[in-house]
Structure 1
Amino acid sequence: MKVLVTGFDPFGGERVNPAYEAVKALPDTLDGAQIDKRELPTAFARSAAALEGYLCELQPDIVLCVGQAGGTPAVRVERVAINLADARIPDNDGAQPLDEPLRADGDAAYFSTLPVRAMVQAVRAAGLPCSVSYTAGTYVCNAALYNALYLAAKRFPGLRAGFVHVPYLPAQVAGKDALTPCMPLPAIVQSLTAALQAAIAGVETSDPAVGTLQ
């Protein structure tokens, strides 16, 4: 089995992105699967092109995109991506789409094809906080998940795709509000590893406790 894991470059004035820092620290093999680690630009158009290029090059069985969600207190496994680009701030190329579809011929939304609940369970079993999220936002993170699922539906049959959001690193919250949550890099790496193990196993759970009320 081959797994592609992507993380974004820094954006929004940050000097580091915990997503790619954690992705780089993942093992090269996990539970018999080859782990290919690549960086995505935090830019709507270039991230879509880069992701498609990686899929063509590697032909993975699974793609897991990872992104930063500043202000979140725990790792979040995303359930759904929507066909909408609506950027509060410009991306790293200066693009700031408002109320635009990501794909003219795409569905309104696509659901993750990874075992989301099992991934949350696995992270929690490792002693780390994690939850299912039902919105990946409308910025480049949502675009990456949407494009991965769109490409799986249109061009790469059998490809399973999903997305995980991770918190700030401790160094990123220096100078921010004192209550801004963060997570050390080793804990983020451990969370991603556990989530990946569940994704590779591919067995979903029906446990309702991993959901949220929002």
Structure 2
Amino acid sequence: MKILVTAFDPFNHEKINPALEAVQRLPDIVGEHTITKMGIPTVFHECLTVIKQQLKLETYDAILAIGQAGGRYEISPERIGINVDDARIPDNQGNQPIDQVIQENGAPAYFSNMPVKRLTQAMKDAGIPASLSNSAGTFVCNHLLYQLGYLHATSYPNIQFGFIHVPFIPEQVINKPDTPSMSLDTIVKGLTVAIAAISTNSHDDSIALGQTH
């Protein structure tokens, strides 16, 4: 499979983003997959614009976006992106705002069509702290996951899409007492294992990976 792996750039006054640092260190070949690695802005709309431009240049079987989730202890594949795009920007012709079109015509939410349980369990089996997440938050990460779902539903029906959050790395928490972190090497290993678990068979494993909170 050809997989586009994206990672957000630093935001919120951080000098680094572990997502981007990890993706840049991924091998170009993971298992049977050929990887294209790309940084994207942590900015509503612009992140998807960059991805759509890349999709015009190459054909991919899957898009996997990686983002930072400071405060989490584990690498966490996301199950769902919800429709909470409140920003309104017109298109280049001054027509109906893009997000308004998506809010009115898109689903309330889009589930990742990647086998997120399989990815999570593969990391756990490899000794990597991982958990399945049912909330991608309400910032740009959720925005992008939802937009990828909308893109799949309206323009790219054969593409798999997903999102994985990674924790802070140690140098980010020096002045953040009691904040969890994970080594960059572990994050890279976890993402490599997760990507290797992606396949053309997107049917997910029937295993219980839910949480009580």
How high is the TM-score relative to the length of structure 2? Answer: 0.89
Identity of aligned residues (%): 43
Range moving further from structure 2, 49-58 or 9-18: 49-58
- 2:102 maps to which residue? 103
Distance in structure 1 (CA, Å) of the matches to 2:68 and 2:2: 24
Distance in structure 2 (CA, Å) of the matches to 1:52 and 1:159: 13
Aligned partner of residue 198 in structure 2, secondary structure: helix
Quote the offset at 1:83 in angstroms. 1.1
Is 1:54–2:54 an aligned residue pair? Answer: yes
Quote the offset at 1:85 in angstroms. 3.0
Distance in structure 2 (CA, Å) of the matches to 1:142 and 1:126: 27
Against the structure 1 CA distance between its residues 102 and 207, is the aligned structure 2 distance closer, same or farther, given a 3 Å change threshold?
A: farther
- 2:3 maps to which residue? 3
Kept after mapping to 1: 8 A contact 2:73/2:181: yes
Letter aligned with residue 31 of structure 2: D
Letter aligned with residue 106 of structure 1: G
Say how many residue pairs are matched: 200
Residue deviations 1:159-185 (CA, integer Å, cap 9, x gap): 0000000000100001111x1000000
Distance in structure 2 (CA, Å) of the matches to 1:111 and 1:22: 25
Superposition map of 1:195-214 within 5 A? 195-200=194-199, 202=201, 204-208=204-208, 210-214=209-213
Quote the offset at 1:138 in angstroms. 1.0
**Unpaired stretches in structure 1, ≥5 consecutive residues:** 88-99
Quote the offset at 1:33 in angstroms. 1.4
Against the structure 1 CA distance between its residues 86 and 124, is the aligned structure 2 distance closer, same or farther, given a 3 Å change threshold?
A: farther
Kept after mapping to 1: 8 A contact 2:81/2:136: yes
**Unpaired stretches in structure 2, ≥5 consecutive residues:** 88-98
- 1:185 maps to which residue? 184
Kept after mapping to 2: 8 A contact 1:81/1:145: yes
